[in-house]
Amino acid sequence: MLSCFNEAVANADELIGLYGRCSPKRLARELDIEVLERDFKNQKGAYKLILKNRFIFIKRDLCDSMKKLVLLHEIGHDQLHRDRANDCGGFCEYDIFDMRNRAMEYEANLFAAEFLISDEDLYECINCEYNIDMSASALGTDRNIVALKVDILKTRGAKLCSQLHNNKFLAGD
């Protein structure tokens, strides 16, 4: 699992090196991924390969910060799991966002955490003595993404306490 962890983080870092921490919409354009909004009932997003064309579908009525997070999660699938999506014709609805026993969902969330939150921004929150919820609010993201970023920093040697995260935080409503 650690190699997958490292691959997800390294892939995000490579894209940050190429494009900076640009908006997820711009990143999708740079990577030639079509992003379409849909009226999903429960799920927040999906990644699909259709005739070798890459698509991300995002729930239309999400708030901007959640759209950003979901889009980066789906870009993570594109970058890390495209071969598996191609093998099975795309990811099914029930495969999206459940990290409990699905390594691909965990990896896509790690990718999103690394892309969304710079080390410096999280350390600034820590230095201000923010708790995880205050940090998430200051960073404009979900507390679970902050917890995953803490795990990333810990692998780099940071002396931080692990933060609990809900493994199904992006699951449907």
> Scanning the structure block, which residue is given the tokens 């991924």?
33
User: At 172, is the pLDDT very low, low, confident or very high (cuts 50, 70, 90)?
Assistant: low
Q: Report the pLDDT value the prediction gives residue 55, as an integer from 0 to 100.
A: 95
Q: Report the pLDDT value the prediction gives residue 130, as an integer from 0 to 100.
A: 93
* DSSP-assigned states of every residue in 114-147: HHHS-HHHHHHHHHTT--HHHHHHHHTS-HHHHH
Order across the sheet with 53-59: list the strands: 34-38, 53-59, 45-50
Mean pLDDT of the chain: 84
Q: What is the pLDDT of residues 6-38, one digit of tens each?
A: 899 999 999 999 999 999 999 999 999 999 999
Burial class (CB in 10 A: 0-12, 13-18, 19+), 172: middle
